Amino acid sequence: MLSATAMRRLEALGNISKQGKCLNGLFRLLENRVLWYEAYANIYANKGAITPGVDEVTLDGFSEKRVASIITRLKSGTYRFQPTRRVYIPKKSGKCICQ
């Protein structure tokens, strides 16, 4: 379970960003292992959870070792997000929207 401080930070993120203010403390939240496990618990049952991403990794490989590795690389500044895949969807009007 997340600490009361972490919960308050998470709950405040939406309001702070809507006000156009800078978000502080995000990095500290990403160091919280419990947050990673709660996020996984919220999405593992979705049909798309086993769909490979652009790096061919699925959520099936989620483990304590993987979480520890990500947190360690975040702290050391060596973690790099994979680029996303852009898909253009043609519409009847002839325009394409990006997803």
pLDDT (tens digit, 9 = 90+) per residue, 53-99?
Answer: 777 878 887 889 989 999 999 999 998 887 777 777 777 776 666 55
pLDDT score, position 65: 92
* 15 lies in some domain: no
Enclosing domain of residue 30: 26-84
* 92 lies in some domain: no
* 11 lies in some domain: no
* 89 lies in some domain: no
* 1 lies in some domain: no
pLDDT score, position 99: 52
Per the model's pLDDT, the better-predicted residue between 95 and 18 turns out to be 18
* 52 lies in some domain: yes
pLDDT score, position 71: 92
Ranges assigned E (strand) in the chain: 88-90, 96-98
What are residue 89's phi and psi, to 5 degrees? -110, 115
> Which residues, other chains included, contact 67 with Cβ-Cβ below 8 Å and sequence gap of 6+?
33, 36, 37
